[in-house]
Amino acid sequence: MSLAVEQHKRKLFSKQFETTLFAALVTFLSYTVVYAYRKPFTIASYYNIEWFGIKYQTWLIICQGIGYMLSKFFGIRFISELKRLGRWKTSFILVGTSWLSLFFFAIVPPLFGLFFLMINGFCLGFMWGVVFSYAEGRRSTDFIGSVMAVSFIFAGGFTRSVGKWLLIEWNVAEKWMPFVTGSLFVIPFAVLLFLLERIPAPDADDIANRAERVTMNNGDRKLIFQYFGKGIFLVTFVYIFLTVIRDLRDNFMTQIWSELGYNTDFSIYTKTETITTITVLILVSFLVFVQKNIQAFRFIHFFIFLGLLLTGITSFLFIAGFIPGAVWMQFVGMGLYMAYIPFNCIFFERMIAAFHLKGNAGFLMYVADAFGYFGSMLVMVMKEVLHVSNGWVLFYSSASLWCAVIGAGGMLFSLFYFNRKFYKNQSI
């Protein structure tokens, strides 16, 4: 009898291990493909067109960012109410529309191109919540979510390298490059949609350990805000600053590397971002071994704090002239994503599990994301409208330093707040 029980346990473990690896790989690749429709346009100069002293490329980034930001506000309700059935259709429509918008971007005059980039950003802004819904609510979500989240880092570099390759090696016109890049990923995306649907739902043990994830109505959302309003405000405040420095780096990575002297090296994006991806993934994955949700939630606060500290210290050292630009870009990216990745995969996941909340992590992610991207767009527009003359290297290094200092302080307050909430719940 004991032998049969042992074999049954091994079989269950083997099945869970296979499901975890399968879900991690498929979600990682799925969101990497999504980036092929979002970021490659940022590496083109668009013949140095300018309006009102602002480069056309910057106008495009701002317009796509506005669309992306709006999708996050709409997504607070849309993602929280997302049902399991039919998600592949939603994904197909969203990514298909974003790809079609890149086609129209290529054929219309530059002014109308801004509108189609806004549509592109609006559609793609929902995709994180859709893809993550396949991963949340599991004992292995920390690992699956971490693997999926580091696709931010890898995909940004990889898809830009593909776009740069098309421009340099195949002489694809700048306006057509984003659409052509997307074309290369149409079939992989279709295959990955099929594979996403093959990921099994969380089992009974997952639900017991992490709380069942359910769709939310307006009353459910209000209840969470009423009880955790101050805490949500604190972490959203930190996330705004994180999103500002992350988005500036992501959108203007080409300009930063160019100012540092790497203008013609199209492999630099993949090289540096791959190192950051692997390092952050290894570090975040250790959270899988923290079984108690409240302990993991506390540790995530500490991990984010360390990431912000690394970002601030390396930026200070670079500004002071103690380290070279390439070293700074590598380590500031590592620190940034040490702080940013947990917010996008496990912070709210463990929060729901620790406090046994009725809902889903996607809802809280989109609350933070909405205001995070609002802050990012505000900073970007202010830099251009006020004609801040600093180059992107100096502007970004200074922004990273100040955002890191403010964010680190905010995480300490957040940890204090949620600890008090947890002990208050325990005493009831």
How far, in Å, CA of 344 to CA of 283, rounded?
Answer: 15
Which percentage of the chain shows pLDDT scores above 70?
A: 93
Paired tokens of 72: 């996050």
Cα–chain-centroid distance for residue 1?
Answer: 48
Q: Answer yes or no: are the C-beta atoms of 196 and 87 closer than 8 Å.
A: yes
Angle subtended at Cα 308 by Cα 318 and Cα 386, rounded to the nearest 5 degrees? 65
CA distances to 85, 292, 422 from 427, in Å:
40, 18, 9
How far, in Å, CA of 167 to CA of 151, rounded?
Answer: 23
pLDDT(387) > 90? no
CA distances to 106, 181, 251, 378, 399 from 175, in Å:
5, 11, 17, 26, 31
Which residues, 6+ apart, have CB-to-CB distance to 1 below 8 Å? none
Provide DSSP, 151-172: HHHHHHHHHHHHHHHHHHHS--
Kindly indicate the confidence band of residue 197, based on its pLDDT and cuts at 50, 70 and 90: very high
How far, in Å, CA of 387 to CA of 256, rounded?
Answer: 17
Paired tokens of 168: 């340099």
Weakest mean pLDDT among 36-40, 152-156, 340-344, 391-395: 152-156
Count of C-beta atoms within a 10 Å radius of residue 259: 16
Judged by DSSP in three states, 359 sits in strand
97 burial via Cβ count (<10 Å: 0-12, 13-18, 19+): middle
pLDDT in tens, 11-69: 666 788 899 999 999 999 999 999 999 989 988 888 778 888 888 988 999 999 999 99
What pLDDT is recorded for position 280?
Answer: 83
Kindly indicate the confidence band of residue 343, based on its pLDDT and cuts at 50, 70 and 90: confident
Kindly indicate the confidence band of residue 274, based on its pLDDT and cuts at 50, 70 and 90: confident
Q: Mean pLDDT, the chain, as a whole number?
A: 89
pLDDT(101) > 60? yes
For the chain, list the domains and their CATH numbers: 19-427 (1.20.1250.20)
What pLDDT is recorded for position 230?
Answer: 93
Dihedral angle of Cα 11, 17, 18, 24, to the nearest 10 degrees:
160
What pLDDT is recorded for position 5?
Answer: 58
pLDDT(384) > 80? no
The closest alpha carbon to 22, from 192, 211, 150, belongs to: 192
pLDDT(2) > 70? no
What pLDDT is recorded for position 12?
Answer: 66
What pLDDT is recorded for position 247?
Answer: 83
Kindly indicate the confidence band of residue 8, based on its pLDDT and cuts at 50, 70 and 90: low
Which residue, chain included where needed, has tokens 């042992």? 6
Weakest mean pLDDT among 60-74, 96-110, 162-176, 241-255: 241-255
Which of the pair, 384 or 324, is modelled with greater confidence?
324
Q: What share of the chain is helix, strand, coil (3-state, %, to 5)?
A: 80, 0, 20
Mean pLDDT of 406-421: 94
pLDDT in tens, 283-294: 887 887 888 999
pLDDT(269) > 70? no
Kindly indicate the confidence band of residue 107, based on its pLDDT and cuts at 50, 70 and 90: very high
How far, in Å, CA of 304 to CA of 416, rounded?
Answer: 14
What pLDDT is recorded for position 298?
Answer: 94
pLDDT(311) > 70? yes
Kindly indicate the confidence band of residue 264, based on its pLDDT and cuts at 50, 70 and 90: low
What pLDDT is recorded for position 108?
Answer: 97
pLDDT(265) > 90? no
The closest alpha carbon to 149, from 35, 241, 38, 308, belongs to: 35
pLDDT(389) > 60? no
